Structure 1
Amino acid sequence: MSDEWNGRGWRALLTEVQFASKWFEVRRDDALRPDGSRGVYDHVIAPPAVTVLAVDGLRRVAVTRQWIYTHREPQWRLPAGRVDDIDRDPEDAARRELAEETGYSATGWCPLGTINCADSLTNHRDHSFLATGLTDRGVRQLEPGEADLEVHWLPADELVAMVLDGKLPHAGSSFAVLVAKVRGLL
């Protein structure tokens, strides 16, 4: 496979898939750098994800707590998940993830931005959204790995303090909270 990116002189001379699953792919690229030297780049190709900052009329935020297998600990994070093939776009995925994890829907949606996650390792990107005008539909649709997922409603100021204290380690969650705070949305 040969590919040139943005005319900047980088070229993948050969891409080999080292591992593939329904969740991600590990690739090894033999690449030509702009200076003419070659290098090998191992990286993970992953689908994009979404994170939802759902804020109710009392300035409380929906925050989940669950066991995160890869980190071997329970963590606080905002409702989040990957963009699936059934989703039209990241906002559609955000609507689905909010409903699945919390049972809530929202009438107001505002994109907060996109963050690259571990970009020396992966192409994974997380799209963050602010959700307002919340309605409790009362039905959650959790996946088997989310059986322990709890939903808590925390005051916005407490959530900002958690980010600053390192107690909300999920990159997309911290990004969404800080962007909303800086923009005066939280």
Structure 2
Amino acid sequence: MLAELIKSLKKYKHKLYLRSIDTFIEKGNSHLLENFRIILNQPRHNKIYTKVGNDTVLDCTIIFESETGEVSIGDRSFIGASTIICKSKIEFGDEVFVAWGSYFYDHDSHSVDYRERENDIKTQLEDYRAGRNFIENKNWTVVNTKPIKICSNAWIGMNCTILKGVTIGEGAIVGAGSVVTKDVTPWTIVGGNPAKVIKEIPTDLRKS
């Protein structure tokens, strides 16, 4: 009896949460599981940040570092308990699989100039101590950012890191624990840090 009550309360809480983010997401007939979260560090309340197609299942966390970010996810895709961190744009195609524990990061977070990093710490402290979001006044103009694209039929294994500017080609597979710093050719399997081609997927296993 108690277990059923706890389960019902969790479902109710999840429904309330989904209502609270409804103005920031379009999702067709897709499903947002209990771990799904959108975190908006600098929200603009008239903006759709996430667009999701049909028959997709999401259990991930999407973090928008600024008000300019956009994440799009196609049809019939699955993203497990992974983290998508967006400053500019991150795009997933159709029939994409992403396991748990992976990170997609479309920017460097900080400048290579140590003086700008010192300034980041200073402004973070000022914002936090003033009761604001700790990156409200962060200077993004000195941070490199490039969109990420995960093409249709790709499969990203668990605990991978996909960095800024990377395109994962159609049907490509990224092995568990990989760090992807460069584009991945369609219909190849890559792995390692940095990820390199392990082998090509046979022609008869490719989508025509």
What TM-score, normalized to structure 2?
Answer: 0.19
Flag the structure with higher strand content: 1
Q: Which has the higher contact order (CA 8 A, sep 6+)?
A: 1
